[in-house]
Amino acid sequence: MPPPPRAWQRMLSGRRLDLLDPTPMDIEVEDIAHGLAFVARWNGQTVGDYAYSVAEHSLLVEKIYALQNPKAPPKWRLAALLHDAPEYVIGDMISPVKAAVGPSYSELDEKLAAAIHIRFGLPGALPKTVKAAIKRADKVSAWLEAVKIAGFDETEANKFFGRPSEEILNSISIDLRPPVKVREDYTKRHAELLALI
């Protein structure tokens, strides 16, 4: 009988993360920041000299979440920063691919997210109200990315993501930066939020 397929990945920190049974002890923010800084949003189909990374997107979502929820405690801002953290090992699949793969992708994502949350002092499963608020911020980010760097016109972006308020649109921008800089900023922001909890 052949051995089971390998289901773990070695991280640059030296950790060995089992994707099917992740444990909080095998998760390091440096691995998350590094992985996300090199994972392109929109399958890399964006304008500019650098890919727009999941790490950059996560920083933007945390900022939007804070603008939309100014009284939110730091732990939920940290949850917003980490909302796509599982993608550091499973990559960023665009929504049509997620739909085609089916529920197995969501199950894997949820297991990884729970381990990541626990590692950094958050509940494994976020409250539904917090998750919904983060999703609203995520949609604002998606609208901005779609219009500013991914070739959508505003009408099309409005249809898929809903038009953000002018106040939010005037408060934020899209940055395209080298992965090393984004990785540094992600790690720094993570440390700042952890220190506030």
Confidence of residue 163 (pLDDT cuts 50, 70, 90): very high
Confidence of residue 172 (pLDDT cuts 50, 70, 90): very high
* pLDDT of the residue at 93: 77
The total number of structural domains in the chain stands at 1
Give the domain range for residue 96.
24-195
Within-domain flag for 14: no
Within-domain flag for 7: no
Task: Measure the CA–CA gap between 144 and 165, rounded to whole angstroms.
Answer: 11
Within-domain flag for 12: no
Task: Measure the CA–CA gap between 77 and 137, rounded to whole angstroms.
Answer: 11
Name residues whose C-beta falls within 8 Å of residue 182's C-beta, 6 or more positions apart in sequence: 37, 53, 55, 56, 59
User: What is the arithmetic mean of pLDDT over 60-87?
Assistant: 97
Confidence of residue 5 (pLDDT cuts 50, 70, 90): confident
* pLDDT of the residue at 101: 73
Within-domain flag for 19: no
Task: Measure the CA–CA gap between 102 and 123, rounded to whole angstroms.
Answer: 25
In contact, 34 and 190? CB cutoff 8 Å: no
Confidence of residue 33 (pLDDT cuts 50, 70, 90): very high
User: What is the arithmetic mean of pLDDT over 69-93?
Assistant: 95
Within-domain flag for 11: no
| Mean pLDDT, rounded, of the chain | 94
**pLDDT > 70: what percent of the chain?**
99
In this structure, what CATH number is given to the domain that contains residue 111? 1.10.3210.10
Of 55-69, 97-111, 156-170, the poorest mean pLDDT is in 97-111
Within-domain flag for 3: no
Within-domain flag for 13: no
User: What is the arithmetic mean of pLDDT over 100-122?
Assistant: 90
Within-domain flag for 47: yes
In contact, 35 and 19? CB cutoff 8 Å: no
